[in-house]
């Protein structure tokens, strides 16, 4: 076996896209159709990657897989992560604007189309292709390599939590973890031409907060002066009017200064001085759009509202669910305390649910693991500027990060702005040529002398 061509990788990815492993929403056993989809995916993976699956395969959670590839030493283990599940698509997908059926796995004009091509079956495929091709060359990793494939990342399931517990019980401390997150982005920064390999070195915390207001109910013909939904609405308005304070963290400063080194003119000069201009940037960045605002503060999204069950009945209870992404350097406790201080109404019950703290910041600079990441980017995307950033979304790796020496979040696939917007939306697709580069990235990383 030689290194697979990008076209061969695309065929494998298209086949995996055709298996609709839609994320399970709730804990507990899979329903029959979901279980069958994941079983079919596992069969396909065993067919495509027999050398990988010739090693010990362990079931994790409902449909997760953990594979250990023994290396020259058991210390300093490397954990490669990707998830098998995808988000659902609406029944009327054509009305949403899809150019191709979401689970058709169409390969057209140099692109693989379909749900999961970017999130996260594309990264899963190039990761496995790289490992399979190396094993065919009689490669033995210098340290143990674990391949962890979750099955419920999109619904914040427990596959990764279970895997972290299993590793901890066995005394296995990951030296380095690599999961999805950043990508080789184009159009990511104003004024920056070319590609930026954006590597997550931490990720924001996440917590849902439920706001509840009790009411008396009754007939809608005689409403009270203040209703439960009205009290709740006032609380939500105050929360949106008083966002969490903005602060530019060290990782963002490093990112901005690296970007500034590639820019000319006043903007480049400003960014190159980011370290001494944190206060100015903290005031300016939130005004430049939601992505830049999210980089410098804890964010609050109002995601669910519930009131009366009928149009002519007063609500006995009004609830709202907020999804908070907690800034690195802050905490869930601080984030929730800010909400309480802003609402200032004892009638509004504020309770956090499923809290997950911000992840530790992984090493950069001359650390061997960071250097290996940069070299792998150089081998696969030589024109790209590699920069660290704080991941705004949540990944499975957050459950391993507290026990890992270094956790990086990066999918070695090229993503334009429209592609990034298509993640979880219509017309998700990946370039065939980029798949070949993704395989090259993983091969370069796994054979790096830095990890030996």
* C-alpha pair distances (Å), 439 with each of 134, 192, 240: 11, 26, 43
Q: Per-residue pLDDT tens for 35-65?
A: 999 999 999 999 999 999 999 999 999 899 9
The per-residue pLDDT for 29 is 76
Residue 426 has pLDDT above 90, yes or no: yes
Residue 325 has pLDDT above 60, yes or no: yes
Q: Per-residue pLDDT tens for 176-223?
A: 999 999 999 998 887 888 999 999 999 999 999 999 999 999 999 999
| Residues sharing a CB contact under 8 Å with residue 399, sequence separation 6 or more, in sequence order | 160, 161, 163, 164
The per-residue pLDDT for 403 is 95
Half-sphere exposure of 99 (CA within 13 A, CB side): 11
pLDDT top residue among 258 and 188 = 258
Q: How confident is the model at residue 364 (pLDDT cuts 50, 70, 90)?
A: very high
Residue 24 has pLDDT above 80, yes or no: no
Residue 1 has pLDDT above 60, yes or no: no
Q: Per-residue pLDDT tens for 126-144?
A: 999 999 999 999 999 999 9
Mean pLDDT of the chain: 95
Residue 434 has pLDDT above 60, yes or no: yes
Residue 407 has pLDDT above 80, yes or no: yes
| Residues sharing a CB contact under 8 Å with residue 166, sequence separation 6 or more, in sequence order | 58, 60, 66
The per-residue pLDDT for 25 is 75
Q: How confident is the model at residue 156 (pLDDT cuts 50, 70, 90)?
A: confident
Helix (H, G, I), strand (E, B) or coil at 324: strand
The rounded distance, in Å, linking the Cα atoms of 256 and 271 is: 5
Residue 19 has pLDDT above 90, yes or no: yes
């Amino acid at each position: 076996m030689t290194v697979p061509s990008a076209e061969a990788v695309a065929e494998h990815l298209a086949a995996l896209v055709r298996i609709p492993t839609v994320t399970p929403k709730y804990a507990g056993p899979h329903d029959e159709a979901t279980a069958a989809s994941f079983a079919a995916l596992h069969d396909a993976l065993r067919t495509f990657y027999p050398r990988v699956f010739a090693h010990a395969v362990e079931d994790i959670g409902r449909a997760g897989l953990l594979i250990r590839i023994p290396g020259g030493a058991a210390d300093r283990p490397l954990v490669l992560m990707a998830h098998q599940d995808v988000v659902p698509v609406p029944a009327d997908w054509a009305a949403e604007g899809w150019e191709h059926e979401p689970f058709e796995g169409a390969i057209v004009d140099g692109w693989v189309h379909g749900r999961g091509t970017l999130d996260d079956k594309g990264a899963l495929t190039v990761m496995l292709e790289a490992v399979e091709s190396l094993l065919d060359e009689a490669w033995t990793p210098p340290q143990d390599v674990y391949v962890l494939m979750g099955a419920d990342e999109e619904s914040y399931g427990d596959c990764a939590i279970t895997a972290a517990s299993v590793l901890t019980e066995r005394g296995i401390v990951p030296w380095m973890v690599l999961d999805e997150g950043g990508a080789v982005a184009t159009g990511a920064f104003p004024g920056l031409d070319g590609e930026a390999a954006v590597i997550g070195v931490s990720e924001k915390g996440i917590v849902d907060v439920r706001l509840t207001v009790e009411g008396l109910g009754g007939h809608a013909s005689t409403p009270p002066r203040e209703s439960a939904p009205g009290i709740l609405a006032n609380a939500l308005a105050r929360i949106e009017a008083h966002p969490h304070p903005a602060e530019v963290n060290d990782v963002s400063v490093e990112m901005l200064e690296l970007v500034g080194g590639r820019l000319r003119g006043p903007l480049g000069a400003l960014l190159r001085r980011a370290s001494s201009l944190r206060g100015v940037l903290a005031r300016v960045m939130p005004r430049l759009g939601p992505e830049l605002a999210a980089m410098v503060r804890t964010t609050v999204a109002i995601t669910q509202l519930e009131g009366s069950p009928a149009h002519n009945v007063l609500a006995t209870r009004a609830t709202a669910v907020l999804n908070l992404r907690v800034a690195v350097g802050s905490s869930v406790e601080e984030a929730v305390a800010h909400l309480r201080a802003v609402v200032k109404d004892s009638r509004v019950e504020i309770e956090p649910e499923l809290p997950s703290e911000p992840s530790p910041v992984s090493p950069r600079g001359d650390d061997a693991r960071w250097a290996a990441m940069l070299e792998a980017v150089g081998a696969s995307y030589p024109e790209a500027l590699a920069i660290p950033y704080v991941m705004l979304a949540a990944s499975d790796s957050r459950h391993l990060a507290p026990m890992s020496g270094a956790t990086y979040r990066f999918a070695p696939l090229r993503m334009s702005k429209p592609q990034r917007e298509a993640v979880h939306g219509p017309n998700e697709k990946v370039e065939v040529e980029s798949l070949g580069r993704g395989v090259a990235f993983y091969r370069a990383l796994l054979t790096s002398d830095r990890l030996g």
